[in-house]
Amino acid sequence: EAQVTQNPRYLITVTGKKLTVTCSQNMNHEYMSWYRQDPGLGLRQIYYSMNVEVTDKGDVPEGYKVSRKEKRNFPLILESPSPNQTSLYFCASSLYLGEQETQYFGPGTRLLVL
């Protein structure tokens, strides 16, 4: 089954404790992206990757890191989480970078930073 998976689905952590949210896709997609969703703001892009070892900042990259060492994986790293990073996070992928290509979303990761 074609899918984007994220782990963990739910996470409660404390300020400053490093964490990683994993994202994996099995569709051989080149393009992957991370979004965060906050009430009243819709989804905003954090980082994206056009291919292995190629990443770039989105609209809200502060406090986050990413890496793309393999085509299928695109982990999101919070080196020192803060309460304002409490959010719902989505990983997404698409076959290529193009305005007509829809993105497929993972199930989401709900993060609470205390």
Q: Judged by CB, which is closer to another protein: 5, or 73? A: 5
d(CA 85, CA 96): 29
Judged by CB under 8 A, the residue of 59, 80, 83, 84 near another protein is 59
Q: Judged by CB, which is closer to another protein: 18, or 38? A: 38
Among the listed ranges 14-22, 38-46, 62-70, 77-85, the one in contact with another protein (CB under 8 A) is: 38-46
- The per-residue DSSP string of the chain comes to ---EEEE-SEEEE-TT--EEEEEEESS--SEEEEEEEETTTEEEEEEEEEETTEEEE-S--TT-EE--SSSSB--EEESS--GGG-EEEEEEEESSS-TT---EE---EEEEE-
Closest CB 16 distance from another protein, rounded Å: 27
Closest CB 36 distance from another protein, rounded Å: 11
**102 near another protein, judged by CB under 8 A:** yes
Residues that bind another protein (CB under 8 A): 33, 35, 40-45, 48, 50, 56, 58-59, 88, 90, 92, 97-105, 107-108, 110
